[in-house]
Structure 1
Amino acid sequence: MVSLDFEQRVWQNGVAYVAGCDEAGRGPLLGSVVAAAVIMPEGLLIDGVNDSKKLTPKKREKLHSIIMERALAVGIGEVDNRLIDMINIRQASRLAMKIAIHELKDRDGKPVIPEYLLVDGETVDLETPQEKIIHGDALCHSIAAASIVAKVYRDRKCLEWEERFPGYGIAKHKGYSTREHVEALLKFGPTPLHRASFLKKIMARATVEQQELFKNEYFAEKLV
C-alpha cells in the first residue's frame, strides 16, 4: 500500500527536499525509456496515487494534473533507443533517472537540488544520499507519483510516434511486444525508433523474406 512512511523517516531528520524517482518504458521494443523525479511538499498524500501500471489511463491523467500542480519540483529524463542499444536497458534506465534528477525544477522553472532520493528498485550514479526500494512504486508515495509522471509523459510521446510511423499501432500498444506490433514489424520492418537489441528473438523466427526488411545499415549491424 502506498504511504508516506519512507518520506516521513527522512523528513523527521530535517530533510525537506526528498525526491521520488521511477521510470517507464523499460520493456518495450520501441522508443525511449523515460524517468521522472518528483519532490512533494512535506506531509502531502494525494489520494489515489499508486503504481502507474495499476491505474487506468483516465485516472493517470487526472492524477498527473494534480501532481504537476502540487509538487515542489518535477524533472524528466529520457534516453533514446540508440543509446539503449549501446549501453543496455538497465544502464539506460539509471541514466534517465540521473537526468531527471538533474532536471528537477519548480513551477517557475528554477532548478531544485534534492537532498535525498527514494528510487524504485535501483541506485542512481549520484553522491546524493539515496535509498533503493523494491516495488517502490507500490509502496512509496513520491516514487508512485514519479511513476505516473513518467508513464503519462511516455504515453504522450507514443501518440507523437504514431503520427510519424502509422501502421504499427504504437498509440495502442506503446511499443510493447504485442501480436499486432510483431506482425507490423514482420510486414514493414523496424522504424528508426526500434531497439535493435530487443529484436533478435523476432528476427530468429522471421522468414528469409521478412529478414530482408531488417537489413538497413543500423539494424544489419546490431542484429548479427
Structure 2
Amino acid sequence: MFGSHPAESQGRGMSNAVAVIGLGRFGGALALELMRNGTDVLGIDHSESTVQRFNGKLTSVVRADATDEEVLRELSVNEFDRAVVGIGSDIQASILTASRLVKFGCPAIWAKAITDPHAEILTQIGVQHVVNPESDMGARAAHLIQHRILDFVPIDDGYALVRCTPPEPIQQRPMDLLNVRHRLGVSVVAVCRPGGQWEPIEPGTMLYDDDQILVTGPTRKVEHFSNLT
C-alpha cells in the first residue's frame, strides 16, 4: 500500500492504515494483530534488529528516529489518520513523538504510558487515547481474582462489561420473566452455549450453568451479579 517507500503513500485519508511507532512488546503485538485483521501498518523503530524482525510481517517497516519531525514527514506519518506511539521505556522519546503527531493534527492518536505522570503528560499534550498496559492489567486481574468473573473490560469510570457463568438464581427461567435490569441494575446482552457461538439474549432465552454470558452495567453491580448464589 505504501509503495516502495512510505513517502509514496496517498496522504491523509488512508482510513485502513495505521502508523505504529515503537515495535516493542506492546507496539509489535498491536501491529501484528492489525495486520491479521486486514489493516495496513507502517512500523517505525530505532532498532535495526527490531526492524529486521518485523521485515515482511508488516506492510512497511523502517528504522528511524521518530522524535525527529522532519523524519516523520519524510515517511508521510503526518498524513496518517491513525497512529500509535508504542514507545514506553524512553519517556522523553514517547512524549516528543506524541507531540509531533499532535502537531501534525493526526485525528486519532494512541500512546502507551508506563507511569501515571507519563499518562497525564500525554493527555495534557493532546493524545486522545492513553494506554497503561501494566496498570490496566493489574486492575483487571484484581476483578478476576475477587469475583466469579472470567473476563473484565472497563468501559468507563464505574462501568464495565464482564464475561461470567450465569448465577444460579437466573438459570432455567426465561429472561423476560427475570427482569434482571430492573431488579439488579445490569443488562445480560449475549450468551455462548458450550461449543457454540455468541448470540444475543432474546426475551425467551433460558440460561444454564455451563453457559457463558456477557453482562454490562455499573462495575459494582456487575460484580455483585456475578457473585449471586
TM-score by length of 1: 0.26
- Greater relative contact order: 1 or 2 (C-alpha under 8 angstroms, separation 6 or more)? 1
**Larger CA Rg, structure 1 vs 2:** 2
Q: Which has more helix, going by share of residues? A: 1
TM-score by length of 2: 0.26
